[in-house]
C-alpha cells in the first residue's frame, strides 16, 4: 500500500506520463469546443425484426465532423474522455439531440424508438435520472420513444446501483438494453439481477456466424438464455442476408448490421424507411422454421 502511494507520488516527475496527460487534456479541451461549436452529430442505424420484416427502431451513434480530419467515429475520440466529466456533457447532448430528432420525425408522422449509448460514468452520476426526466419534459410528445444502451462491462461495475438506476429509468418509460453482451467477463447469473429489457449480442460473435461454427453455439445459447429470463434479444453485426438467415434459424429475430443498413445521417432516415424491403430469403426461412 505504502509502496503504491509512493509510486503515485512520483507521477508528476514522469515526463512520459506528463506528456500523455497533457495530450489528453488537449483532447478534452478540443472535444469540449467541438461540442460547443456543434461539430458533433448523430447517425442512425436501423434495428429490424427479420421475421416480421419490420423496422422496429434505430440506434443513435455519435460522430465528430472534424473541420480538418473529416468524419470521425466514436473510437477516435470517446475513449479519451470516458472517465472525464465531459463524457456526461456529451451524453446529455446525445439525449437532447436524439429527442429533438424524434420530435422532427414525430411531426413528419413517423414514430419509432431511438436508443442512445450511455457511458458508465454518466449512468452512475448522481443526477442522471433527474437530467433524463428534465430532457423528457422538454420533448413530451416523444419522451416514451427514448431508450438507453449500457455496456455489459459498465453495468456490472456496480450492479446494485445500476439496477436501481435502470428501475428509475423504466419508471420514466425509458427501457434499457445491455450492449455488447458476451464481450466482457460477466457472470450469467448477474443477468437476472438487472431489470434490462433487451440484450444485444456482441457483434464479434454474430459477424463470424458463417465462418466459425463455435459462434453458432454461443449465439443460440445467448438467445435461449435471454428468452428464459423473459428478455428480448438483438444480434448486432448482421453483415449480410446470410447472417440474417442464420440468426432466424437460431430462433433470433431482432437484428442490426451493415447487411441491413449502415448508420446514416438523420436526413437519410425517412427516405431509407420508405424504400426498405426485407430480404426475401428471410421470410422463406422464417416460414420454413417457425410457421
Ligand atoms: P455499439 O453501441 O455496440 O454500436 C455498434 C457499433 O458497431 C457501431 O460502431 C456501428 O457502426 C457498428 N456496426 C453496426 N453494424 C455493424 C456490422 O454489421 N459490422 C460491423 N463490423 N460493425 C457494425 P460505431 O458507431 O463506431 O460505435 C462504436 C461504439 O462507440 C458503440 O458501440 C458505442 O459503444 C460507442 N458509442 C457510439 N455512440 C456513442 C454515444 O453517443 N455515446 C457513448 N457513450 N458511446 C457511444
Ligand atoms: Mg450500442
Ligand atoms: Mg454493441
Ligand atoms: Mg460495441
Ligand nearest to the CA of residue 74, numbered in listed order? 1
Please give the full DSSP string across 162-213, using - where no structure is assigned.
Answer: HHHHHHHHHHTT-EEEEEEETSS---GGGGGGS--SEEEE-HHHHHTTTT-T
Share of the chain above pLDDT 90, in %: 78
261-285 per-position pLDDT tens digit: 999 999 999 999 999 999 999 998 9
State pTM to two decimals: 0.93
86-129 per-position pLDDT tens digit: 999 999 999 999 999 999 999 999 999 999 999 999 999 999 99
Residue 182's pLDDT is 86
CA nearest neighbour of 216 among 171, 254, 246, 175 = 246
Share of the chain above pLDDT 70, in %: 93
Report the atom number in ligand 1 closest to the C-alpha of 180. Answer: 3
In a 10 Å sphere around its CB, with 0-12 CB exposed, 13-18 middle and 19+ buried, how is residue 209 labelled?
buried
Residue 186's pLDDT is 65
Cα distances (Å, whole numbers) of residue 208 to 184, 189, 258: 18, 26, 14
List residues bridging with 116 in a β-sheet: 60, 148
> ipTM above 0.95?
yes
In a 10 Å sphere around its CB, with 0-12 CB exposed, 13-18 middle and 19+ buried, how is residue 275 labelled?
exposed
Scan for cell 449465439, then name that residue.
Answer: 219
Q: Which three cell numbers stand for residue 222?
A: 445467448
Phi, psi of 268 (to 5 degrees): -85, -10
- State in Å: Cα 204 to ligand 4 middle: 9
- Asked whether the beta carbons of 227 and 201 are under 8 A apart, the reply is no
Question: Rounded to whole angstroms, how far apart are CA atoms 96 and 90?
Answer: 10
Residue 228: CB atoms within 10 Å: 10
Residue 138's pLDDT is 98
Looking at ligand 1, which residue's alpha carbon is closest to its atom 21?
237
Q: Is 179 in the pocket of ligand 1 (CB under 6 A)?
A: yes
Q: What angle do CA 98, 101, 107 make, to 5 degrees?
A: 140
Residue 1's pLDDT is 37
Question: Rounded to whole angstroms, how far apart are CA atoms 46 and 118?
Answer: 18
Q: Is 152 in the pocket of ligand 1 (CB under 6 A)?
A: no
Q: Is 267 in the pocket of ligand 1 (CB under 6 A)?
A: no
Per-residue pLDDT band at 289 (split at 50, 70, 90): confident
Q: Is 180 in the pocket of ligand 1 (CB under 6 A)?
A: yes
Q: Is 62 in the pocket of ligand 1 (CB under 6 A)?
A: yes
Looking at ligand 1, which residue's alpha carbon is closest to its atom 37?
61
CA nearest neighbour of 110 among 118, 98, 102, 99 = 102
Amino acid at each position: 500500500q505504502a509502496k503504491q502511494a509512493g509510486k503515485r507520488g512520483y507521477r508528476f516527475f514522469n515526463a512520459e506520463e506528463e506528456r500523455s496527460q497533457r495530450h489528453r487534456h488537449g483532447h478534452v479541451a478540443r472535444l469540449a469546443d467541438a461540442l460547443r461549436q456543434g461539430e458533433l452529430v448523430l447517425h442512425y442505424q436501423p434495428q429490424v425484426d427479420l421475421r416480421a420484416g419490420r423496422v422496429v427502431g434505430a440506434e443513435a451513434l455519435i460522430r465528430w465532423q472534424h473541420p480538418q480530419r473529416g468524419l470521425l467515429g466514436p473510437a477516435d475520440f470517446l475513449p479519451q474522455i470516458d472517465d472525464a466529466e465531459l463524457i456526461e456533457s456529451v451524453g446529455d447532448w446525445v439525449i437532447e439531440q436524439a429527442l429533438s430528432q424524434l420530435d422532427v420525425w414525430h411531426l413528419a408522422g413517423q414514430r419509432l424508438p431511438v436508443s442512445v449509448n450511455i457511458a458508465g460514468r454518466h449512468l452512475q452520476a448522481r443526477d442522471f435520472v433527474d437530467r433524463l426526466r428534465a430532457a423528457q419534459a422538454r420533448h413530451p410528445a416523444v419522451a416514451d420513444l427514448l431508450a438507453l444502451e449500457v455496456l455489459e462491462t459498465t453495468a456490472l461495475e456496480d450492479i446494485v446501483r445500476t439496477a436501481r438506476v435502470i428501475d428509475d429509468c423504466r419508471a420514466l418509460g425509458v427501457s434499457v438494453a445491455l450492449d455488447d453482451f458476451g464481450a466482457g467477463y460477466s457472470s450469467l447469473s448477474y443477468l437476472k439481477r438487472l431489470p434490462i429489457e433487451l440484450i444485444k449480442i456482441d457483434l464479434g460473435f454474430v459477424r463470424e456466424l458463417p465462418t466459425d461454427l463455435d459462434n453458432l453455439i454461443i449465439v443460440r445459447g445467448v438467445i435461449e438464455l435471454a428468452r428464459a429470463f423473459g428478455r428480448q434479444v438483438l444480434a448486432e453485426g448482421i453483415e449480410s442476408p446470410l447472417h440474417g438467415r442464420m440468426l432466424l434459424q437460431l430462433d433470433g429475430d431482432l437484428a442490426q448490421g451493415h447487411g441491413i443498413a449502415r448508420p446514416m445521417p438523420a436526413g437519410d432516415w425517412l427516405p431509407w424507411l420508405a424504400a426498405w424491403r426485407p430480404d426475401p430469403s428471410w421470410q422463406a426461412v422464417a416460414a420454413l422454421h417457425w410457421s
